[in-house]
C-alpha cells in the first residue's frame, strides 16, 4: 500500500499502539521488580521491626532483672529486708515481662531455614537462662539466701547469660546480613529497571523519528500545499489551482479546498454585484433620510415655539386664577365684616329697646314718687293745720311739717324734671331705634349684594382654575409631543448616521470585493 494513500488516522493509531505496548511492557517489568523489592524490604522490616524489637526488649529486661537482683542482695546483706523484698518483686516483674517479649519474638514467623534455626537457638538459650538461672535466683532472693544467690551467679547465671547473649548476636548478625542481601537485590532490580527504561526510551526515540519522517511525507507536505493555496485565497487570488492529493484525509482536504474555492468564486461574484446595488440604494436612502431629518428639525422648532407660547399663556391664566382667588378671599372677608356689622346694629337696636323699656319703667316709678310726694304734701298740710290748732305746743311740729312739705314739693319738682328728661330720652331712643332699623336693613342689603359678589367671584375663581388646569394638560400634551418629536428627530438622525455608515460600509464592501481576481472564473468552472 502506498504511503500517500495511507490513512493518517491509521498511521497515528498504529504508532500509538506500538508505543503504548512498549510502555506497558516496560511498566509491567518495572512493577514486577518493584514488587520483588517491596517484598524483600517488607521481610527485612518485619525481622528488624518485630523480631529484633521483641528480642532486644526481652534481653534488656533480663539485664534489669540481674540489676534488681544485685540491688536486692545488697539491701538484704545490710539488713534492709523490706527494701530487698521490694527489689525482689521488681525482679519477678522483669522476668515475667521478658517472658512475654520472648514469646512475642517466637510468634513472629521466619522467612528462611537459617533464620528459623538461629531463632530456635535464641529461644533455647533463653529457656536455659530462665529455668536454670533467673528463676532459681528469684527463689533464693525470696528466701533471702544470699550464699545460694552467689553460688548460682558464679556457676549458672554468668555462663547462661553469655550463651543467651551470643545467640542474640548470631541472630542479629544474620538479620543484618539478610538485610544487606535484600538491599543488594533491590539495587540490582533498580539497575535492571534503568536499563529497560533506557532501552524503551531509545526504541521510543527511534519510533518517533521514523514516525516523524513518515508524517512529514504524508502530512506536512500536503498541509504546506493546502496552506499555500489558502494563503492565495486569503490574498484574493481565486485563479490558482491546488495540486490533486491522494485518497486519504489530506486528499479529501485538497478536494474540499478546491470546492471551497469554486464556491467562494461564485459567492464573490454574487456579492460584488449585490454590493454595487447596496451602495446605490444606500446613497438614495441617505439622501432621503437627510431630507426627512431637516423637515423633522423644522417641526421640532415649531413645536418648541408653540410649547413656549402655551407656557406663557399658562402663566397668565395662572396669575388670573390667583387674582380671582385673592378677590374671592377679599369678598369673603368683606362679607364676614358686613355680617359682624349687621350683628352689631342688631345688638344696638336691642339695647335701644332695652333702654326704652327701662325709661318707661323709670317713668312709672316717677309717677309713683310724684303720687307719694303729693300725698306727703297733703299730709304735711294737715299736720300744719293741726299744729296751728295746737297753738304754742304744736309750733315745733308745724316746723317739721313745713320741712316735710318743702321736701315733698322738691321731690315732686325733681320727679317732674326727670319725667321731662325721660320723655326727651324716649323720643331720642325712638329716633335711634328707627335709624338702627334702617341701618340694619341697609346692612342686610349690603350683605346680600356682597354674597352675590362672593358667589360670582367664586365662580370666576373656579372657572379660572379649570382653565388653568386645562391649559396645563394641553401644555403637558405639547411637551410630550415635543419629546416624541425630539425622539423622532434623534431617531431620524441616528437613521441618517446609520445610513451614512451603511453607505461607507457598502463602499468598503465594493473595495473589498475589488481585491478578488476572478477573471478566469469561466475557465476555472469549465476545467472543473
Residues 208 and 305 grouped into a single domain: no
As for how many domains the chain has, the answer is: 2
Q: Are 428 and 414 in contact (CB under 8 A)?
A: no
Tens digits of per-residue pLDDT, 166-219? 888 888 888 778 777 777 877 787 788 788 878 877 887 888 788 777 777 776
Average confidence (pLDDT) over 135-160: 81
Query: Once rounded to an integer, what is the mean pLDDT over residues 360-371?
Result: 77
Residue 144 backbone class (left: φ over 0; alpha: ψ -120 to 50; beta: rest): left
> Is the pLDDT at 294 greater than 60, yes or no?
yes
User: Residue 260's pLDDT band (boundaries 50, 70, 90)?
Assistant: confident
Mean of pLDDT values over 10-36: 72
pLDDT at position 429 over 50: yes
Residue 489 has pLDDT above 80, yes or no: no
- pLDDT single digits (tens) 476-488: 876 777 777 677 7
- Residue 41: predicted pLDDT: 59
Using pLDDT thresholds of 50, 70 and 90, give the confidence band for residue 53: confident
CB atoms near residue 282 (< 10 Å): 20
Tell me whether residue 468 is exposed, middle or buried, using C-beta atoms within 10 angstroms of its C-beta: 0 to 12, 13 to 18, 19 or more. buried
Which of 115-129, 281-295, 356-370 is modeled with the greatest confidence? 115-129
CA torsion through residues 411, 414, 419, 422, sign: negative
Q: How far apart are CA 130 and CA 138, in angstroms?
A: 10
- Is the model's pLDDT at 111 over the cut of 70? no
CA-CA distances (angstroms) from residue 173 to 2, 118, 135, 470, 525? 69, 10, 29, 121, 94
| Domain range enclosing 15 | 3-213
Mean pLDDT of 425-430: 77
Q: Is pLDDT at 323 greater than 50 in this prediction? A: yes
My answer on whether 259 and 209 are in the same domain is no
Q: How confident is the model at residue 268 (pLDDT cuts 50, 70, 90)?
A: low
| Highest mean pLDDT out of 3-17, 39-53, 290-304 | 290-304
238: DSSP letter: -
Supply the CATH number for residue 355's domain.
1.10.287.950
Question: In this structure, are 153 and 265 located in the same domain?
Answer: no
Same-domain pairing of 160 and 50? yes
The pLDDT assigned to 524 comes to 47
Confidence of residue 224 (pLDDT cuts 50, 70, 90): confident
Ranges 88-92, 385-389, 502-506, most confident: 88-92
The DSSP element (H or E) to which 226 belongs, if any, is helix 221-234
Q: What's the pTM value of the predicted model, to 2 decimals? A: 0.34
Q: Residue 231 falls within a domain, yes or no? A: no
Q: Reply yes or no on whether the pLDDT at 165 is more than 80.
A: yes
**pLDDT, position 229:** 72
Confidence band for 37, pLDDT divided at 50, 70 and 90: low
- Residues 280 and 341 grouped into a single domain: yes
User: Stretch 242-260: mean pLDDT, rounded?
Assistant: 69
Measured distance CA(485)–CA(24) in Å, rounded: 80
Question: Last residue of a domain, which of 161, 182, 213?
Answer: 213
Quick check: 38 pLDDT over 70? no
Taking residues 365-391, what's their average pLDDT?
Answer: 78
The most distant pair of C-alpha atoms in the chain lies apart, rounded to whole Å, by: 201
312 pLDDT band, cuts 50/70/90, is confident
* Model pLDDT, residue 161: 81
3-state percent helix, strand, coil for the chain, nearest multiple of 5: 90, 0, 5
Residue 59's CATH number: 1.20.120.30
* For residue 142, pLDDT beyond 80: yes
pLDDT for position 164 = 85
- Does 305 lie in the same domain as 162? no
- Yes or no: say if 499 and 286 are a contact pair by the CB < 8 Å rule: yes
Q: Which of 161, 187, 213 is the last residue of a domain?
A: 213
Domain-embedded: residue 226: no
Which long-range contacts link 416-422 to residues 24+ away (Cβ below 8 Å)? Answer: 416/370, 418/362, 418/366, 419/363, 419/366, 419/367, 419/370, 422/359, 422/362, 422/363, 422/366
Q: Is 336 found in the same domain as 200?
A: no
Q: What is the pLDDT of residue 525?
A: 47
pLDDT-based confidence at 75, cuts 50/70/90? Answer: confident
pLDDT of residue 515: 62
The residues facing 517 across adjacent strands are: 237
Q: Is 128 helix (H, G, I), strand (E, B) or coil?
A: helix
What is the average pLDDT across 281-302? 72
Same domain, 471 and 328: yes
Percent of the chain with pLDDT over 90: 0
pLDDT of 261 reads 66
Asked if residue 473 is part of any domain, the answer here is yes
Amino acid at each position: 500500500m502506498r504511503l500517500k494513500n495511507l490513512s493518517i488516522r491509521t498511521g497515528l493509531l498504529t504508532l500509538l499502539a506500538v508505543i503504548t505496548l512498549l510502555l506497558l511492557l516496560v511498566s509491567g517489568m518495572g512493577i514486577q521488580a518493584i514488587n520483588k523489592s517491596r517484598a524483600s524490604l517488607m521481610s527485612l522490616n518485619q525481622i528488624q521491626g518485630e523480631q529484633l524489637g521483641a528480642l532486644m526488649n526481652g534481653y534488656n529486661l533480663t539485664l534489669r532483672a540481674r540489676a534488681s537482683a544485685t540491688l536486692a542482695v545488697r539491701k538484704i546483706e545490710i539488713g534492709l529486708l523490706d527494701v530487698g523484698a521490694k527489689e525482689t518483686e521488681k525482679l519477678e516483674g522483669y522476668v515475667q515481662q521478658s517472658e512475654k517479649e520472648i514469646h512475642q519474638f517466637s510468634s513472629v514467623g521466619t522467612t528462611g531455614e537459617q533464620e528459623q534455626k538461629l531463632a530456635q537457638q535464641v529461644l533455647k538459650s533463653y529457656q536455659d537462662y530462665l529455668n536454670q538461672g533467673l528463676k532459681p535466683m528469684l527463689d533464693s532472693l525470696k528466701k533471702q539466701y544470699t550464699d545460694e544467690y552467689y553460688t548460682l551467679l558464679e556457676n549458672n547465671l554468668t555462663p547462661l547469660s553469655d550463651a543467651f547473649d551470643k545467640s542474640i548476636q548470631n541472630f542479629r548478625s544474620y538479620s543484618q546480613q539478610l538485610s544487606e542481601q535484600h538491599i543488594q537485590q533491590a539495587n540490582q532490580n533498580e539497575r535492571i529497571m534503568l536499563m529497560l527504561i533506557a532501552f524503551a526510551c531509545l526504541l521510543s526515540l527511534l519510533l518517533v523519528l521514523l514516525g516523524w519522517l513518515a508524517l512529514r511525507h504524508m502530512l506536512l507536505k500536503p498541509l504546506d500545499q493546502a496552506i499555500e493555496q489558502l494563503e492565495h485565497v486569503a490574498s484574493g487570488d481565486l485563479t490558482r489551482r491546488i495540486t490533486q492529493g491522494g485518497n486519504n484525509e489530506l486528499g479529501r482536504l485538497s478536494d474540499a479546498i478546491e470546492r471551497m474555492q469554486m464556491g467562494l468564486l461564485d459567492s464573490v461574484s454574487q456579492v460584488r454585484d449585490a454590493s454595487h446595488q447596496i451602495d446605490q440604494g444606500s446613497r438614495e436612502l441617505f439622501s432621503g433620510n437627510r431630507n426627512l431629518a431637516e423637515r423633522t428639525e423644522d417641526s421640532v422648532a415649531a413645536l418648541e415655539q408653540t410649547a413656549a407660547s402655551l407656557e406663557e399663556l399658562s402663566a397668565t391664566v395662572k396669575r388670573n386664577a390667583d387674582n380671582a382667588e385673592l378677590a374671592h378671599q377679599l369678598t369673603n372677608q368683606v362679607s364676614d365684616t358686613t355680617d359682624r356689622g349687621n350683628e352689631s346694629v342688631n345688638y344696638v337696636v336691642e339695647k335701644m329697646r332695652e333702654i326704652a323699656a327701662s325709661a318707661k319703667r323709670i317713668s312709672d316709678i316717677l309717677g309713683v314718687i310724684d303720687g307719694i310726694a303729693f300725698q306727703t304734701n297733703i299730709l304735711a298740710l294737715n299736720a300744719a293745720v293741726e299744729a296751728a290748732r295746737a297753738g304754742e305746743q304744736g309750733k315745733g311740729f308745724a316746723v317739721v311739717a313745713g320741712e316735710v312739705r318743702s321736701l315733698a314739693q322738691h321731690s315732686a319738682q325733681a320727679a317732674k324734671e326727670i319725667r321731662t328728661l325721660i320723655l326727651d330720652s324716649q323720643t331720642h331712643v325712638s329716633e335711634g331705634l328707627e335709624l338702627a332699623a334702617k341701618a340694619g336693613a341697609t346692612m342686610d342689603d349690603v350683605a346680600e349684594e356682597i354674597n352675590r359678589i362672593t358667589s360670582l367671584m367664586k365662580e370666576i375663581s373656579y372657572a379660572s382654575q379649570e382653565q388653568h388646569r386645562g391649559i396645563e394638560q394641553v401644555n403637558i400634551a405639547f411637551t410630550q409631543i415635543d419629546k416624541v418629536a425630539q425622539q423622532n428627530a434623534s431617531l431620524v438622525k441616528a437613521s441618517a448616521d446609520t445610513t451614512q455608515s451603511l453607505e461607507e460600509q457598502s463602499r468598503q464592501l465594493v473595495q473589498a470585493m475589488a481585491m478578488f481576481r476572478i477573471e478566469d472564473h469561466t475557465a476555472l468552472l469549465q476545467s472543473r
